[in-house]
Amino acid sequence: MKDANGASVQRLSVLELLHNKLQGILCCLHPTKYKTLDAMLERKMMEMKRASVRVPEHLNFKTIDSVLIKFPQFREGFQEIRNVFQQYDEDSDGILDIEELKKCLHSIELNDIDEAEIDNLFDYCNVDGNKGMQFNEFIVLLCLVYLLMDSTPAETSKTNWPLIKRTFDAIVQVFLFLDKRGDGKLKRKDVVRALNEASPKEKSPAHITRTRFKEMDWDRNGRVSFKEFIYSFISWVGTEQDSESPEQHI
């Protein structure tokens, strides 16, 4: 039996269950799964923007300089995620294939997540089209699981999950700092405004902010989604193994 969008009713009920788990983040089923995840993230960011008045002072970024100064802490968090990545990359080929990823998510007791959700997230985060999750893709995937699934990994002695969670919380706050209007996506005006708050006396030249914005807006639709942002952010910060030659910061 099919609904108006051609999706089977059975599939709908699975998604309805997912919706409940996502605490009502999603209000309706979109026929395109990627757009659904984009919409969920957009709503989540809006929700967190509203709640951000309560964030602790050290996460309340007011200038881009206050973000830059935290780059070493972000790298430390990424290194902890790399340890998780390496632990589950059983054949050590530098990627997590879908089976390795499932093992990883199940063994860290993200029990609320089902196979279909993992497949969906895997496709959504696999931005280079390569069959597996590279390290940067894995960081994004884990962050989205943390944000959307309302499910945090069980504490294990091997992994410092509090550090990883703090890292994700801080990434969200950087996004919210850039999202001046609080609508869950970045427009060029937002980014220009945020970057100019770095040093009000010395405004970033227009071409720099324009370049930064273009870098983030992969699909050139004039706005930067959380997913587009986080990939760029990871490459700006650099991860421990390539921190020798990090890309030029904002």
Choice between 80 and 89, CB closer to Ca ion: 89
* 81-120 footprint of Ca ion as x/- string (CB under 5 A): --------x-x-x---------------------------
CB of 161 vs Ca ion, minimal distance in Å:
22
DSSP state of 249: P
> Contacts by 227-231 with C-beta closer than 8 Å and gap 24+?
227/37, 227/38, 227/41, 227/124, 227/125, 227/140, 227/144, 229/175, 229/178, 229/186, 230/139, 230/140, 230/143, 230/171, 230/175, 231/127, 231/136, 231/140
- Give bridge partners of residue 96 from the DSSP assignment: 133
Q: Mind giving me the DSSP string for 216-231?
A: H-TT-SSSB-HHHHHH
Q: Which of 23, 32, 107, 130 contacts Ca ion by CB under 5 A?
A: 130
- 155 counts as binding Ca ion under rule CB under 5 A: no
- 232 counts as binding Ca ion under rule CB under 5 A: no
Choice between 199 and 221, CB closer to Ca ion: 221
* Distances, alpha carbon 118 to alpha carbons 3, 18, 98, 168, 232, in Å: 24, 12, 8, 19, 23
H/E element holding 196? helix 188-196
Choice between 128 and 247, CB closer to Ca ion: 128
* 162-201 footprint of Ca ion as x/- string (CB under 5 A): ----------------------------------------
CB of 177 vs Ca ion, minimal distance in Å:
18
Touching Ca ion, residues 199-218 (CB under 5 A): 217
Q: Which of 7, 221, 247, 249 contacts Ca ion by CB under 5 A?
A: 221
Residues that bind Ca ion (CB under 5 A): 89, 91, 93, 126, 128, 130, 134, 217, 219, 221
